[in-house]
Structure 1
């Protein structure tokens, strides 16, 4: 009996100890420490410091570009900065200049005056026509400025090139003293030459303008290019190829490309197709593609002939009869290939 009670008591004791150990393991199980996420501190973006505006005798200038030159953006002011003066308020230039801007001056248009020096000055300064610059024919080193480049001069009139109209709004006009043309006994226009001194002046002036305003070659034009139905200047005696070759100004075709188009035109008997409406329509379309404001009528109307004549003044001055022969056609094709509308 004693032995039985002893065994029962020992069993109860062992069970009690085992239960306490199990409780202890459950109760005191260590917990992993909780890590709080760190708060990210943003470093403030430092605004790029813009070049300072210079001030001379109370007139402000900004002569550094901060725009993207690859996008034709240029913030340089080639003259004083013009600002509003609202009554009771102050206009400040704390954030001047915005990078998203470029120049109004997108074209350079060349003219002749059809007048001698003294009359050219009088007409261009005292009457309802003007230009930004006048290149005289007196043999000196002077070029006359008549209109601020930031203002509109009245030189282009009703005009068109590619997608632009009324080019007074976005061009710089250069007049060159030259007597223009006279008609010979057959009615053909005979144009007066330009002096070497004038050509050098025009080249230097044009180079400065196209460089400052990033004017592309396709936008250096004759008055006759933008208004072929009514203008002939500066005519076939103006040396466009010389400006292209020696000064990298304006457009010109590649001779090898022109020759390949010429051979193609001859081999396809272009003269046989000359009066076909489909060919005329194609000519008008190609002139339009290049930049002229030609209507596609499908007939050799007066406007089309004058446009071809204007094209020849610029790119085929040896023959400006207004006829789209194989060589003129080849030059037009070569130019369209070289200077496509972007």
Structure 2
């Protein structure tokens, strides 16, 4: 069981908007160490105060900074399935990790174990759908990249947190003849805020990279290919009622 610190509180929160339901769990990384993370997430004097409900240190210890009934300020301008004001609809978990810098940093096992246990409790309390367990990069593609490609979404899905597509034996993807309009439609239908232009524009490329970061990180930076499409189709088919690793 992880240790929870409750003695540090953030003043950076408000009340959730009326007529919204709490239905998302959003993962972030802090891009700084624990001391700086706590300062940033609890400082009301900055130009743009931020916060999260929870902060998970590298050693697995958890800091509860904002009570769950309140609206923490972690998502910013974001959207999923046409829903905005994600702050009013979500619980935010910040994860101590130095972020990208010159290279991405892995997440220690103790930290991931605590994230899994904490997430399962939050999901159970609020009945959060598996397809609403997301990264900041999913709800703000092109603007945010956290929690990054080294965050182990597949392992989390195996613990019962979120979903992850299993395509079986992988084959070399082929991007020839991929229908951009179909990819846009499937990405938007799954939940991403995707342009429906029929062309591979900047917005679409940002969404593709966000999808790769979460569901196909070994291909981050590449074009959408046949394996990308297979993973997207699996998620589209099973997103509503599945949890864990899903198969076609």
Q: TM-score range by the shorter chain?
A: 0.7 to 0.9
Greater relative contact order structure (CA < 8 Å, 6+ sep)? 2
Provide the secondary structure at the position in 1 that maps to 2:212. helix
Matching of residues 253-332 of structure 1 within 5 Å: 253-256=165-168, 271-274=175-178, 279-332=179-232
Q: Which of 116, 125, 137 is 2:42 aligned to?
A: 125
Match of 2:97 among 171, 174, 178: 178
Distance 1:300 1:323 in 2: 10
**Contact 1:228/1:310, CA 8 A, preserved across alignment:** yes
SS at match of 1:172: strand
Deviation per CA, 1:4-26, whole angstroms, max 9, x where unpaired? xxxxxxxxxxxxxxxxxxxxxxx
Deviations 1:111-162 (A, max 9, x none): 000111111000000040000000012x2x5310111100100000111111
Secondary structure, aligned partner of 1:209? helix
The CA deviation string for residues 37-94 of structure 1, in whole angstroms up to 9 with x for no partner, is: xxxxxxxxxxxxxxxxxxxxxxxxxxxxxxxxxxxxxxxxxxxxxxxxxxxxxxxxxx
Between structures 1 and 2, the one with greater helix share: 1
Number of the residue aligned with 1:250: 162
Where in structure 2 are there 5+ consecutive unaligned residues? 1-18, 242-248
Following superposition, the deviation at residue 319 of structure 1 comes to 1.6
Cα 1:308/1:322, change in 2 over 3 Å: farther
- CA distance in 1 between counterparts of 2:61 and 2:176 reads 52
Q: What is the match of residue 135 of structure 1?
A: 56
CA contact (8 A) 1:253 1:338 kept: no
Distance, in Å, in 1 between the alignment partners of 2:199 and 2:167 is 30
Counterpart pick for 1:210 among 103, 123, 127? 123
Does the CA-based 8 Å contact 1:103-1:213 persist in structure 2? no
Partner of 1:199: 112
- Structure 1 residue 337 corresponds to structure 2 residue 241: no
Shift of 1:108: 0.4
Moved over 3 A (4+): none
The 1:222–1:313 alpha-carbon spacing in structure 2 relative to 1, beyond 3 Å, is same
Counting only pairs closer than 5 Å after superposition, residues 2-41 of structure 1 correspond to structure 2 as: none
Residues of 2 paired with 1:108 and 1:193: CA distance? 21
User: What's the TM-score once normalised by structure 2's chain length?
Assistant: 0.82
Paired with 1:105 and 1:164, the residues of 2 have a C-alpha distance of 12
Distance 2:161 2:240 in 1: 17
Mean CA deviation greater in 204-213 or 315-324: 315-324
Q: CA deviation at 1:302?
A: 1.5
C-alpha change, 1:157 and 1:322, in structure 2 (3 Å) is: farther
Structure 1 CA distance for aligned equivalents of residues 86 and 125 of structure 2: 19
Give yes or no for contact 1:111–1:174 (8 Å, CA) kept in 2. yes
C-alpha distance in 2, partners of 1:216/1:166? 18
Residue among 30, 50, 71 paired with 1:113: 30
CA RMSD of aligned residues (A): 2.1
Q: Which residue of 1 aligns with 2:3?
A: none
**SS of corresponding position for 2:203:** helix
- Name the TM-score, length of structure 1 as normaliser: 0.60
